[in-house]
Amino acid sequence: MKRTVSLGLVISLVFSLLIWGTNNAASVKITFSRHGTETDLETENKLVKIFKSKHPDIDVEVLVLPWNDYNTKIPVMVAGGSAPDVISAHPALLFQIYAAKGLYSINSMVKTDTTINYDDIVFPGDAKFSGQIVGLPQKSCTHILRYNEDLFKKAGLTTPSDLYYKGKEKAWNWDSLIEAAKKLTVDENGDGQPEQYGVSLDDNCIKFSTIRSAGGDVLDKALTKCVLNSPGGKKAFQFFVDLVRKYKVAPPPELQVGQLGIQFKTGKIAIEAATSCDSVRDLRKGYELPFSWKFVVPPAGPAGFRVWGDTDQMIISITSKNKKAAYEWMKFRSSKEAWVELYKEGMTLAFTDGPTRFSIFDIPAFKEPLKAVDVNMIKEAYKYVIPNPFLPRTPYADRIFFTIVPTELDNAMRGTKSVEQAINDAVKLINDVLAGKA
Amino acid sequence: MAKKSKTYWKRALEGYLFISPWIVGFAIFTAGAIGASFVISLTNWSMIGNPRFIGVENYKRIVNDKFFWQSLKVTSIYLLNVPLNLIIGLLLAILLNQKIKGLSIYRSIYYLPSVTAGVAVSLLWLWIFNPRFGIINLLLSYIGIKGPAWLSDEHWALPALIIMSTWGVGGSMLTYLGALQGIPTQLYEAAILDGAGIWDRFKYITIPMITPVILLNLIMGIINSFQTFTQAFVMTNGGPNYATLFYVLYLYQQAFRWFNMGYAAALAWILFLIILVCTIVIFKTSARWVYYERS
């Protein structure tokens, strides 16, 4: 009897070891990184669980880091050869990793993959370098406007959405924005200082898209020279300055109105710069604003509508040892299916990630959570992301578009420099940066 | 040369053993990084990919970089906070060295701000400097003065940060207080007998006796001023119009926003040299004005 039991135990042990060994040999573990918050980690873990049910042989470990940490840690990991298998990269980080030859081109994988409809992918230009596809989008976003519908109704004004749908650029343009903003700027206590402003365009991306909507640009096509001093650039600068100094419908930068409680969220700013991927968080249950609000594309300038839009692209690290598994994960993470299945599980990507596919605009997982705002207007904005990629690919992009141009525009809006002087100074500084002198 | 005794070596060994944790830590975690940063300063490196050796090119570029000079100018002007804080710290210490009721409470109140987290202090002062309803402009309005836009005005942003620096005077105040209490009372008694007034006692006894602490606060103040970062990062981000572009903020931008790690390392080495020269000059000249009881 003892011998039989011992034999049985030995056989079961050997059998278990064999099974474990077989499973372990087939299982592949990959790492995925993105910037975000603890909520995003929860979302990703849920997505990993869904993915795992379809790909039991692939384990995905998620690394979510806050924005600043992400932008320092990932480059260091890439430099050290220990980068995650799949990295979600915003345009600047993507360019940086590409320039350093830190990513693996997925061009052939995508081209031979019959399950991907590449025409459905938003902002495909973001993922292409020298015609080669290097990534799939994790999320997309546009920098647009949102307005307080209640304030418009109270003032008896046609809403920007109605203007846009009725007459496109003929009805919703710089002039109509100024006219509406004039009526929505209110000095409640008569002290000469408005307590409610018509508009606030305090967003560097909107500043850049406005320059383009005026027919101007910051850099030439070769990205070697600053062309901000073109008529379009001057018109855009003048438009921003006029909002503050001439029409006094936008808060001057020196007032720091946010601290005064003059914010969109407090109902004291009628139209503000917003993003289609982040501002929607105000639609979450328990976080709703105490008034009705809607999105609208930024008004058309002399050259028409222009919108800053971009994607965070998922790329495969050149050092990844499991590129096929990495591709499977990013394909799922980027898919419409991920949106649908996560929504079924009671979580929604619509509050954190903009659509990765045009077809996502039409599914309940996107439409239902955002039904309080005009979902179609978000889709409209994607049309005006011209060119794509919208952000010029230069290693100096952050410095030029997020430091020098906003600083000089700020100088003009504060009235410490004329538009001409601010533009000339910006051109000189940008050309110095491009020449490697600063 | 006299031969060192066995006891001398034993004592020396004991001393080194006591500081060995620091030496080991420094050798492992700091010395290597310092050396590496110098090597990096001779390269063009964006953190990703291999660094490209470019010799002293980064240092040459710095000389022609107007933002480098602007950040150096801003930081140098900000050094004005050092004498201001030395004076205010000393005056506070003298006040809090009096025998009054509730002294420990006053001392705690004045010391507390200097241990408050930098970001919290910055946020608090953002409100204080608010042009429309900040407390400073409110008080100025009572006497008929329209206050400036402070942090949003390129002429007032840096003075505003200098004013704000007095918030952290508690640290130097505490060291002054310790020094004041260490002055032998018989010196004052003898001076009184000789007919010395308050001012003479302060000038000829108090000041000379606390000069070592003044030296300490001066050097620490200068080093801290050169390393100013949090206020500018949180409150102004270097603006308006680069009026608060502190040296370390610019270094940070080069390193972690624009990923010019080689250039940033070169900036760091120049800062190190500037601080080193300042410290050496102060130490060399201190023999003329610092009084040590043993000397």
Got the DSSP string for A152-181? HHHTTPPPHHHHHHHHHHHHSBHHHHHHHH
A396 touching B (Cβ < 8 Å): yes
| Residues in chain B, pLDDT under 70 | 1-2, 294-295
Backbone angles phi, psi at A316, to 5 degrees: -100, 130
C-alpha–C-alpha distance, residues B202 and B191, integer Å: 10
CA distance A382 to B64: 42
Distance of alpha carbon A421 from alpha carbon A414, whole angstroms: 13
Verify whether the Cβ–Cβ distance B46 to A75 is below 8 Å: yes
| Spatial contact of A275 and A148, defined as CB atoms under 8 Å apart | no
Query: What region does B242 belong to: left with phi over 0, alpha with psi -120 to 50, or beta?
Result: left
Q: What is the predicted pLDDT for the residue at A2?
A: 58
Residues of chain A with pLDDT > 70, as a percent, come to 94
Q: Does B49 touch chain A (CB under 8 A)?
A: yes
- pLDDT class of A187 with cuts at 50, 70, 90: very high
**First-to-last C-alpha distance (Å) of chain A:** 86
Q: Measure CA A106 to chain center.
A: 22
The per-residue b/e assignment along A170-203, b for 16 or more CB within 10 angstroms, e otherwise, is ebbbbebbbebbeebbeeeeeeeebebbbbbbbb
Instruction: Please give the backbone phi and psi of residue A128, each rounded to the nearest 5 degrees, phi first.
Output: -105, 130
Which residues in chain A have Cβ-Cβ distances shorter than 8 Å to B137?
Answer: none
Reported as type and span, the H/E element at residue A139 is: strand A135-148
Q: Which residue has the tokens 């001393």?
A: B15
The span from the CA of B155 to the CA of A173, in Å, is 36
- Full DSSP string of A319-355: T-S-HHHHHHHHHHHTSHHHHHHHHHTT--STTT-B-
pLDDT at position B294 is 62
Distance from the Cα of A193 to chain B's closest Cα (Å) equals 10
Q: Looking at beta carbons, which residues of chain A come within 8 Å of B148? A: none
For the cut 90, the answer to whether the pLDDT of residue A414 exceeds it is yes
- The single-letter DSSP state of residue A88 is E
pLDDT of residue B49: 76
Residues 87-146 of B with CB under 8 A from A: 126-127, 130-133
How far is CA B72 from its chain centroid?
15
* Mean per-residue pLDDT of chain B: 92
Rounded distance between C-alpha atoms, residue A171 and residue A183, angstroms? 17
Q: CA of B106 to nearest chain A CA: how many angstroms apart?
A: 31
Give the pairing of strands A28-35 and A58-65.
parallel
Q: Is B57 on the interface with A (CB under 8 A)?
A: no
* Per-residue pLDDT reduced to its tens digit, A107-137: 999 999 999 999 999 999 999 999 999 999 9
Inter-chain residue contact B241 with A416, CB threshold 8 Å: yes
Kindly report the nearest CA distance between residue B69 and chain A, in angstroms: 11
* B163: exposed, middle or buried (Cβ count in 10 Å: 0-12, 13-18, 19+): middle
Q: What 3-state class would DSSP assign to A133?
A: strand
Q: Determine the pLDDT at residue A436.
A: 83
Q: Can you read off the two tokens belonging to residue A338?
A: 């991920």
Q: Which residue has the tokens 């910006």?
A: A426
pLDDT number for residue A412: 97
Residue in A75, A101, A254 nearest the CB of B152: A254
Q: How confident is the model over A352-368, as a mean pLDDT?
A: 95
- pLDDT higher for B22 or A27? B22
A96 contacts on B by Cβ (under 8 Å):
46, 48, 259
Using CA coordinates, name the residue in chain A closest to B70: A438
Nearest residue, CB atoms, B47 vs list A75, A416, A437: A75
- The owner of tokens 């007998």 is B193
- What is the C-alpha to C-alpha distance for residues A309 and A275, in angstroms, rounded to an integer? 9
d(CA A207, CA A212) in angstroms, rounded, equals: 9
Q: Is the interface score ipTM higher than 0.90?
A: no
Q: Mutating which of B47, B128, B253 best tests the A interface, going by the most A Cβ atoms within 10 A?
A: B47
CA A127 → CA A99, A136, A389, B132, distances in Å? 14, 7, 8, 46
φ/ψ of B243, rounded to 5, equals -70, -20
Q: Does B48 touch chain A (CB under 8 A)?
A: yes
Q: Based on C-alpha coordinates, what's the Rg of chain B? A: 24
Q: Which of A123, A152, A162, A185 has its CA nearest to residue A296?
A: A162
Mean pLDDT, range A89-93, rounded to an integer = 93
The verdict on B66 touching A (C-beta cutoff 8 Å) is: yes
Span A69-83, average pLDDT: 88
Interface of B with A in 242-281 (CB under 8 A): 242, 253, 256-259
CA gap A264, A270 in Å, rounded: 7
Residue type at A91 in one-letter notation: P
Identify the residue whose tokens are 């077809």: A359
Q: Do A256 and B151 touch (CB under 8 A)?
A: yes
Contact residues, chain B, for A395 at CB < 8 Å: 46, 258-259
Closest-CA residue of chain A to B50: A79
Where does the pLDDT of residue A22 fall: very low under 50, low under 70, confident under 90, or very high at 90 and above? very low
Q: Inter-chain contact B241–A260, Cβ cutoff 8 Å?
A: no
Task: With a cut of 60, say whether residue A200 has pLDDT above it.
Answer: yes
Residue A314 near residue A126, CB atoms below 8 Å: no
Alpha-carbon distances, residue A145 vs A263, A424, B123, B260 (angstroms):
14, 29, 28, 34
In chain B, which residue's Cα lies nearest the Cα of A394? B258
Chain B within 8 Å of A318 (Cβ-Cβ)?
no
Closest CA in chain B for residue A195: B132
CB atoms B131 and A254 under 8 Å: yes
CA nearest to B210, candidates B169, B248, B174, B257: B174
